[in-house]
Amino acid sequence: MPRMNVETLIIGAGAAGMMCAAHAGNDVLVIDHAKAAGEKIRISGGGRCNFTNLYASPQNFISQNPHFAKSALKRYTQWDFIALVDQYGIKWHEKTLGQLFCDTTAKDIIAMLRAEMEKSGAKLWLQTDVKVISRNAEGFRVIVEKSGRSTTIQAQKLVVACGGKSIPKMGATGLAYQIASQFDIPVVAPRPGLVPLTFSDEKFKPLAGVAAPSRVTTARTSFDEAILFTHRGLSGPAVLQASSYWEEGEAITLNLDPSGTLLQKLQQDRSTQGRKALTSVLAQHLPTRLVEFLSADLNLSGNIADQSDRRLGEISAALSAWEVKPAGSEGYRTAEVTLGGIDTDALSSQTMMSKSVPNLYFIGECVDVTGWLGGYNFQWAWSSGWAAGKAIAAG
Ligand SMILES: Cc1cc2nc3c(=O)[nH]c(=O)nc-3n(C[C@H](O)[C@H](O)[C@H](O)COP(=O)(O)OP(=O)(O)OC[C@H]3O[C@@H](n4cnc5c(N)ncnc54)[C@H](O)[C@@H]3O)c2cc1C
């Protein structure tokens, strides 16, 4: 079997792996089983890649140890990545809430990372499968298979950058967790995050396609953004965000009056358009189909003029505290990220190196650091990839 030696072997040519390769110094080989590097970058942000967030800070990340991400995020910030994007002349814009997207295509970000890898001399092998990993005196021995031929790669340092379990169709395998288990490194149970929630009774089917601004509250936090009713349940940014904090069996609360002004508006409407039906007036403030859907449950009969202050107060209160109990989520098939992962207690927050296995690094989504929706997950990939790369280059 052919043998080769490299200083650093990186498994995974995604966001974190490519960033790490660009900074890890000499003699770096990146391997990936996919046909192309950065496939998730390519499809991200509707093809325009929400590559970072202006307001990225440690509060936007979920982890058993909320302090772990601080060092990497501080040492390689959103401003560093924006400077890199600017250096390559990639035009971008802020869409909303600090979310930065490419003007043209996410492929520009992949081309930039590939160019950075080439500049540092890193090699890339695609369509390469990992067969066996073992540890020996010189580091790590990894048997890979490419085009039906096996090769033994002897690497001093091994970086695991092969992502989480989200979207198996895009090449996600969960290999990182297997490697962790092989080396007795603890893993926080992975689960789907940023994922639509589902309901067993298909009760929202008549509302499929309806969107409304809302505050979605879980037992742990709340998010103010749009919600979207789907055939199987609830989606939209506020629900995706909340899904990362939701646990099975829990109810969530939808506040369809997030600005808290509905009662006042209805009282005004009563004096200016008293002869209109209550449902027609409500439909000026909420989607018509949603008002129709709720009308029986909330007993929305009569004209607005017939409603007392107390009654209008009851209706507003009900609309701002609609409790629903999801049965589950759409799962890894559509989840944007995987929550949980390599336990951060087992890693150095400065270098991403394992505390128990020298020269073994974990970066990106496979680590128990998960960002909110809005460019935060790529920022973690850039920051953790950079931190490991710099540490490796420093020897
Ligand atoms: C549809 C979608 C849209 C998204 N949009 C955004 C967005 O706009 N902004 C944002 O911040 N985040 C977004 N995300 C999340 C973001 O893509 C991930 O958080 C990020 O890609 C993680 O980077 P990573 O390098 O850790 O993993 P990945 O980018 O997933 O890279 C892992 C690499 O490892 C390879 N690999 C996996 N298993 C193996 C194996 N067994 N052998 C060899 N190679 C393997 C994969 O082929 C892949 O190339 C989106 C995710 C999805 C699914």
Q: What is the pLDDT of residue 333?
A: 96
Residue of 52, 4, 59, 44 lying closest to 28 (CA atoms): 4
Q: What is the pLDDT of residue 129?
A: 98
For residue 33, list its beta bridge partners: none
- Element holding 5 (H helix, E strand): strand 3-11
Rg (CA), the chain: 25
Q: How far apart are CA 22 and CA 122, in angstroms?
A: 7
Q: What is the pLDDT of residue 365?
A: 98
Ligand 1 centroid, distance to 309 Cα (angstroms): 52
Report residues whose beta carbon is within 6 angstroms of any ligand 1 atom: 11-17, 32-34, 39-40, 43-45, 49-50, 130, 161-163, 166-167, 171-173, 175, 336-337, 364-365, 375-378, 381
As a whole number of Å, the end-to-end CA separation of the chain is: 29
Ligand 1 centroid, distance to 163 Cα (angstroms): 6
Q: What is the pLDDT of residue 395?
A: 86
Q: What is the pLDDT of residue 1?
A: 87
Ligand 1 centroid, distance to 40 Cα (angstroms): 5
Q: Which two tokens stand for residue 166?
A: 């989200």
Fold of 196-329: Elongation Factor Tu (Ef-tu); domain 3 (2.40.30)
Q: Which atom of ligand 1 is nearest to the CA of 34?
A: 47
**Which residue minimizes the CA distance to atom 51 of ligand 1?**
336
Q: How far apart are CA 382 and CA 384, in angstroms?
A: 6
Give the architecture (CATH level 2) of 3-192+335-393.
3-Layer(bba) Sandwich (3.50)
Under 8 Å between Cβ of 207 and 237? no
Q: What order do you get walking across the sheet with 50-53 strand by strand?
A: 50-53, 99-102, 92-94
DSSP per residue over 187-232, as a string? EEEEEEES--EE-TT-TTGGGTT-EEEEEEE-SS-EEEEEEEE-SS
Q: How far apart are CA 175 and CA 164, in angstroms?
A: 8
Q: What is the pLDDT of residue 202?
A: 81
Mean pLDDT per 10-residue run, the chain (395 residues)? 96 98 98 97 97 98 98 98 98 97 98 98 98 97 96 98 95 96 98 96 91 97 97 97 97 98 97 96 98 95 96 98 97 97 98 98 98 98 98 95
CATH 2.40.30.10 boundaries in the chain: 196-329
- Cα angle 130, 194, 387 (rounded to 5 degrees) comes to 55
Residue type at 40 in one-letter notation:
K
Ligand 1 centroid, distance to 269 Cα (angstroms): 50
Ligand 1 centroid, distance to 14 Cα (angstroms): 6
**Which residue minimizes the CA distance to atom 10 of ligand 1?**
375
Q: Is the pTM of this model over 0.75?
A: yes
Q: How far apart are CA 242 and CA 380, in angstroms?
A: 19
SS3 120: coil
Ligand 1 centroid, distance to 17 Cα (angstroms): 10
CATH 3.50.50.60 boundaries in the chain: 3-192+335-393
**Which residue minimizes the CA distance to atom 23 of ligand 1?**
15
